[in-house]
Amino acid sequence: MKKTYTVTFLPQNLVLEVEEGTTLLAAEQMAGLEPDAPCGGKGNCGKCKVNIVAGVKTGVVLACQTPVTCDMKVDTMYQEKIQKILTDGFSRNIEVAPGVSRPEGGQDLPFYLMAFDIGTTTIVGYLLDGRTGAEKGIASMMNPQHQFGADVISRSNYVLEHGGREMQEVVQKALNQLIGQACAEAGVRREDILQVSIVGNTCMHHLFLGISPDSLVHAPYLPAVKDGMILDAAENGIRIADGGKLVMLPNIAGFVGADTVGCMLSVAFDQLKPMTLMIDIGTNGELVMGNRDHMVTTSTAAGPAFEGAKIECGMRGSKGAISHITVEDHELKLEVIEDVRPIGICGSGLIDILAFMIRYGFIDNYGSLCEEEDLEDEFAKSQAYRLKEKDGKPVFVLVPAEESANGTDIYISQKDIREVQLAKGAIAAGIQIMAAKLSIRPEEIEQVYLAGAFGNYMDAENACEIGLIPYELRERIIPIGNAAGEGAKLAVVNRGEYEYACEMAKKAEFIELATESCFQDTFVDELEFARAVER
């Protein structure tokens, strides 16, 4: 029988008894602390640091790589996880006809509906009046599955190794918690909710339903379930009215899921006349291109760089994150969420930084950091002191240690630049290949819909500057907010909209980029920062 030891987590003052050899990360999860572990506990993201203040050895360590071998006191170095979560989005006016009613009948009896967007990073829930469709409450939170990995591959691998029950239960608990919050806000009972709709990427869909993600991580990367489904809510762990229904929107492919279908539904994509590109950039990038004549869709392995997971000073868009950068009066100005001392850089800030470095010649078209003597612009020369070395490697320092909240430099490394190149290169290559499939040039795209939180908060012109989106489209970009959530609302408010979504999903032609013979060459071409060449 293994020995057990006591671990005390500070500042929460939680005391837990665990078996010898349990990692501190696992102990945090057992204590319900929901630690950040973007790499799924493999020890290569560096985001799960804790400070052992009492034990055989003390100091800052990676929780996922540190087994419990004695009684310990551990400072979790907790940071407020209040993230800017996008809840608004583009929608359409439709008839309210949800296809459910109270068993006792009667139009005057109030009942409610709930729509959820289960994102890889965040979950948003909307409480709706079942008779009018009016929004009565909104609740949102971080997706608690992040403690098992930042991206869908990490989470899938965790489930394949440990089973899916734990992953399923945390998201069921989260949805029930959000239902409770929204009901409390509106002053209604959860028992008055007759129907819930859910959108999410294919992996989130499978993990919620307890379906093995095995088919998503092995070729040919197909979903185990594609069709839309109307299920019993209670049988899937959702506590609403007796006999309440669960509306699951369809998936298109292994990495183009019900969230993309929700976005398409929100704008009635297959009825659009202008040639349209719709992008939802998160830990995965989903793209739809076309109009009422022909629609193609694909996904790109953008990776979690824009969520901050693989960036050395990266973080989510929460308090203390550098979110934007501008040049004013010959000074570099940083915008920090909640206007506090910075602790890191979120995705929108990352794009701004790279765009700035391209404009002023700090990086060349291959993405290499330049030497001080190579700088030509006068303003760039005045900022040359930011070019330093860290552990023998070049970095660009945004905030010196004495000005940051955590007493360390906040910087962009050469490795960070490469991560952005890989992410933007994959998305840009996807756009090129989709355009070729539709026999158009990218500049012939008439409008670009940017869906999701990242698209909403990022500077669109800077995204074009770094080549994430073709530069020619910079004035045709329209942010549409949380369009996936809006699609979930439409589907729960009107049964016909749900059926329409199911039909539209079948009409969209999926392109598997990995099997396209030109993808690798196109991807390599798109790794370059073309705008740096033109300057």
Q: 422-477, pLDDT tens digit by residue?
A: 999 999 999 999 999 999 999 999 999 999 877 788 899 999 999 999 999 999 99
pLDDT score of 416 more than 70: yes
225 and 132 in one domain? yes
Q: Which residue has the tokens 């800077």?
A: 462
Cα separation, 365 vs 489, in Å, equals: 44
Is residue 123 within 8 Å of 146, Cβ to Cβ?
A: no
351 and 293 in one domain? no
154 and 253 in one domain? yes
Amino acid 71 reads: D
Of 9-13, 26-30, 157-161, 247-251, give the range with the top mean pLDDT: 247-251
35 pLDDT band, cuts 50/70/90, is: confident
| Predicted local confidence at residue 281, as pLDDT | 83
290 and 233 in one domain? no
Residue 199 tokens read as 């959108």
Residue 432 tokens read as 């090129």
Cα separation, 528 vs 522, in Å, equals: 11
- Asked if residue 84 belongs to a domain, the reply is no
Q: Which residue has the tokens 């800017």?
A: 84
Q: Mind giving me the DSSP string for 183-202?
A: HHHHT--GGGEEEEEEEE-H
- When divided into structural domains, the chain yields a total of 4
Residue 119 tokens read as 């994102």
Q: Left if phi > 0, otherwise alpha if psi is -120 to 50, otherwise beta: which for 177?
A: alpha
170 and 235 in one domain? yes
| Predicted local confidence at residue 498, as pLDDT | 98
**Terminal alpha carbon distance of the chain:** 68
What range does the domain containing 51 cover? 4-75
* CA-based nearest residue to 291, from 266, 307, 265, 269: 269
Cα separation, 478 vs 349, in Å, equals: 20
326 pLDDT band, cuts 50/70/90, is: very high
Phi and psi of 275, rounded to 5°?
Answer: -65, 120
Cα 312 to Cα 409, 419, 502: the distances in Å are 11, 10, 41
147 and 61 in one domain? no
120 pLDDT band, cuts 50/70/90, is: confident
pTM for this entry: 0.83
- Asked if residue 527 belongs to a domain, the reply is yes
Q: Is 504 helix (H, G, I), strand (E, B) or coil?
A: helix
Cα separation, 430 vs 442, in Å, equals: 11
- Asked if residue 523 belongs to a domain, the reply is yes
Find the CATH number of the domain harbouring 518.
3.30.420.40
Domain boundary among 418, 444, 462: 418
414 and 337 in one domain? yes
Q: Is 241 helix (H, G, I), strand (E, B) or coil?
A: coil
* H helix or E strand, kind and range, residue 6: strand 4-10
Half-sphere exposure of 74 (CA within 13 A, CB side): 31
- Asked if residue 386 belongs to a domain, the reply is yes
- Asked if residue 164 belongs to a domain, the reply is yes
Q: Is the peptide bond before 400 cis (omega within 30 degrees of 0)?
A: no
- Rounded to the nearest integer, the mean pLDDT of the chain is 90
Strands (E), 202-293: 229-232, 245-248, 276-281, 285-290
34 pLDDT band, cuts 50/70/90, is: confident
Q: Left if phi > 0, otherwise alpha if psi is -120 to 50, otherwise beta: which for 77?
A: left
User: H helices within 384-443, ranges in order?
Assistant: 414-437
* CA-based nearest residue to 285, from 265, 312, 311, 304: 304
Q: Which residue has the tokens 């379906």?
A: 211
| Predicted local confidence at residue 226, as pLDDT | 96
Find the CATH number of the domain harbouring 211.
3.30.420.480
Amino acid 281 reads: I
Q: Is 389 exposed, middle or buried (0-12, 13-18, 19+ CB in 10 A)?
A: exposed
104 pLDDT band, cuts 50/70/90, is: low
Cα separation, 535 vs 372, in Å, equals: 18
**Which residues contact residue 356 at a Cβ distance below 8 angstroms, ignoring those fewer than 6 apart?**
325, 327, 332, 362
317 and 296 in one domain? no
| Predicted local confidence at residue 60, as pLDDT | 83
| Predicted local confidence at residue 334, as pLDDT | 95
Which tens digits make up the pLDDT trace of 499-523?
A: 999 999 999 999 999 889 999 999 9
Q: CA 233: distance to chain centroid?
A: 26
| Predicted local confidence at residue 86, as pLDDT | 54
Cα 466 to Cα 144, 313, 345, 358, 449: the distances in Å are 32, 20, 17, 7, 18
Find the CATH number of the domain harbouring 40.
3.10.20.740
Q: Which residue has the higher pLDDT, 420 or 44?
A: 420
Which tens digits make up the pLDDT trace of 399-413?
A: 999 999 989 999 999
Q: Which residue has the tokens 């993990």?
A: 207
CA-derived radius of gyration, the chain: 24
325 and 281 in one domain? no
142 and 195 in one domain? yes
30 pLDDT band, cuts 50/70/90, is: confident
Is residue 240 within 8 Å of 233, Cβ to Cβ?
A: yes
116 and 260 in one domain? yes
| Predicted local confidence at residue 82, as pLDDT | 45
293 and 312 in one domain? no
- Asked if residue 100 belongs to a domain, the reply is no
- Asked if residue 500 belongs to a domain, the reply is no
Q: Please give the share of the chain, as a percent, with pLDDT higher than 90.
A: 67
- Asked if residue 299 belongs to a domain, the reply is yes
pLDDT score of 238 more than 60: yes
| Predicted local confidence at residue 89, as pLDDT | 61
Cα 378 to Cα 278, 333, 361, 365, 382: the distances in Å are 39, 17, 11, 20, 6
| Predicted local confidence at residue 106, as pLDDT | 53
Which tens digits make up the pLDDT trace of 172-225?
A: 999 999 999 999 999 999 999 999 999 999 999 999 999 999 999 998 889 999
